[in-house]
A and B are shown apart, each in its own frame.
Chain A
Amino acid sequence: MYLQLAWRNIWRNPRRTTVILLAIIIGVWSMIFENALMRGITVGMIKNSIATLTGHIQIHRRGYRSDPVIENSITEPEAVIAALKRILPPGTQWAARVRVNGIASNARHSSGVTLVGIDPASEAKVSFIGDAIAGGHQLQPDDPHAIVVGEALLDKFETKIGHKLVLMSQDTNQEIASKAFRIVGTFKAEMQSTEKQFVFITRKAAQQMLKLRQGLSEVSIVLPDQQESGVASRLKAILSPNGYEVNTWKELLPFLRAYLKLLDVFVYIWSLVIFIAMGFGIVNTTLMAVFERIREFGLMKALGMKPWWIVRQVLTESFLLLIIGIIMGNILAFLTVLALSDSGIDLSALAAGAEFAGMTRVIYPIVSIKDWSIANLLVMVLGLLICIYPAAKAAKFTPIEALAYT
């Protein structure tokens, strides 16, 4: 009967109830959706960063990360490869690269680039370059003169596929090595900066040009499940004593990690801001409803109701409103996320701005159980807490005041 009474009471003023429900629904919807969007941005950024030549785990010669010069290369890759074969779980993909800084130039332009020597077959399974070819064709393993560059670089150099590009870098003899390549293909990346930074040639061509023999700069590993820390520590145990460094993506991308933490904080602040706006609406309308019923509360007290029972009754009414609003807000949020889960939100139109913030071009909202329960709990618990105020007001009227009130 208490619930029934509360239910009838909230529908005494259908318009007010509708307004308050709308506020809760919109609040819950925007909290969940906003969180899903943030989570989508975050996951997109991580995926993109891992695919942009990072991988889950990387192995370098100690010293390479602070000073990525040719002298800090892995000169005897056999030992590393043997360790990989022993430790990596089945389903793991890995690729070995040569990666040095150099200068690309043609007749009109020149610019600093990162020269990456890859094995196209194994690289395709590890990083974005496998399915990023936008024009021309992918590198052939036996083509020592081929080079693949980013679309943005092609534009910047005012050149096209089939034309020449000269690469310069320091070789192992401390001399400037330089070699002409023919552009066979272009790639597209999430970020323009990626397109301008990396140029790809075959690993063999790079090793020859830089006189590296079998030498490598790094090994990049992508695990089937994202459980990188266990594998990394096992690799470390073997490789660290021999002068190698093993790092997980979290260690390799400290900026990204800090950024993600900031996003987390932002999500909570944003949820709170939405809640405060919604909370004012709830408190105000509940207060209004309470003042309209002063007589009734006075009557109840005259009949022997204790103040606490009145508090409980008002809170029961608020609870009903909150639970209806929360359920409908959730349904709305899930429908929105579902509708966007295929196509995502395409930010290409504002790609420059989005890229500045480090976001990918398309955002796919993701609802995590944690975000979802935090949003719902926040609304329910804080919602009830703030309604204690009007409820206490209702309980404070004395029967005489209330019955004299007209």
Chain B
Amino acid sequence: MKIVECIEIDKTYQQGKVKVHALRNISMNIEKGDFVALAGPSGSGKTTMLNIIGGLDSADSGKIIVDGNALSEMNQTQLANLRLHNIGFVFQAYNLIPVLSAAENVEYVMLLQGIPQAERRQRTKSILDEVGLAGKYDRRPAELSGGQQQRVAVARAIVSNPSIVLADEPTANLDSKTGKGLLDMMKKMNQEKKVTIIFSTHDRMVMNYAARLLRIRDGQLVDDQVKNN
């Protein structure tokens, strides 16, 4: 089943007088349960691609269908609802609300979704245990290491069973050992919970974790390979 369908996507940024062609004619599909790496050098258009799939940015032309919804036909409120209920985000850094504890950060999205408190508490606790943060529920982001913060962000992204999780260079700010730990955990979540994950990276080691590798260069999709590991 296709979770994401991109058809001939184009995106151009105006940078002063210069036009930057960030994405050129990109078409691809992502299947439910995929664990996909979007790989490419800096400036190749990875962030732009993820933002467009997540409904944070809009394409100039082409069509994106996420979980059956054609994004170009949706207004801001509908997009917000789609993000709230169907898409999980993990950013490179500053993922968490600093005044909330780890557990509260996870709980907060469910609060916005209108999930009752008892269920929120129970789900928060179990997801934090699964991502390896048992006993750190009440720590504020500032009291967690970079790797632990990213784990909280992943926990928050998957806690409400979204159709897809978009992670933009989730390991870029981590040392390689911590980054591997995070990726192991994400892969485990992908396999156990069947959650679809797309993450971007320019790191060869990180690419190796992916079940499928999409290579992008200068805004163009240059390679699409399925790996068996």
List residues of A whose CB falls within 8 A of some B CB.
Answer: 1, 5, 8-9, 12, 295-296, 299-307, 309, 398-400, 403
Contact = CB atoms under 8 A, between A and B. Distances in A.
Given A299-B97, A304-B112, 6 more contacts: A5-B100, A302-B56, A302-B83, A303-B83, A304-B82, A400-B56
Contacts of B77: 306
Given A1-B111, A8-B99, A400-B56, A304 B104 contact: no
Nearest to A11: B99
Interface of B: 51, 54, 56-57, 76-77, 80-85, 87, 89, 91, 94-95, 97-100, 104, 107-109, 111-112
A169 to B, nearest CB: 83
A303 B94 contact: no
Contacts of B56: 302, 398-400
14 contacts: A1-B107, A5-B108, A8-B100, A9-B99, A299-B95, A301-B80, A302-B56, A302-B91, A303-B83, A304-B80, A304-B82, A304-B83, A304-B112, A306-B80
A1 B108 contact: yes
B89 A303 contact: yes
Contacts of B81: 304
Contacts of B87: 304
B97 A302 contact: no
Contacts of B80: 301, 304-306
Q: Is the interface of A mostly helix, strand, loop or mixed?
A: helix
B109 A304 contact: yes
B57 A403 contact: no
Contacts of B94: 295-296, 299, 403
Contact of B91 (A299, A305, A306): A299
Given A5-B100, A296-B97, A296-B98, A303 B109 contact: yes
Contacts of B83: 302-304
Nearest to B84: A304
B194 to A, nearest CB: 22
B59 to A, nearest CB: 13
Nearest to B117: A1
B94 to A, nearest CB: 5
A399 B54 CA distance: 11
A300 B97 CA distance: 9
Contact of A5 (B82, B91, B99): B99
B78 to A, nearest CB: 11
Given A302-B56, A400-B51, A309 B112 contact: yes
Contacts of A5: 97, 99-100, 108
B71 to A, nearest CB: 14
A300 to B, nearest CB: 8
A305 B97 CA distance: 13
A1 B104 contact: yes
B48 to A, nearest CB: 9
B99 A12 contact: yes
Contacts of A1: 104, 107-108, 111
A350 to B, nearest CB: 52
A5 B104 CA distance: 10
Contacts of A400: 51, 56-57
A3 to B, nearest CB: 12
Contacts of A300: 97
A399 B84 CA distance: 14
A5 B107 CA distance: 12
A396 to B, nearest CB: 11
Given A299-B97, A400-B51, A304 B85 contact: yes
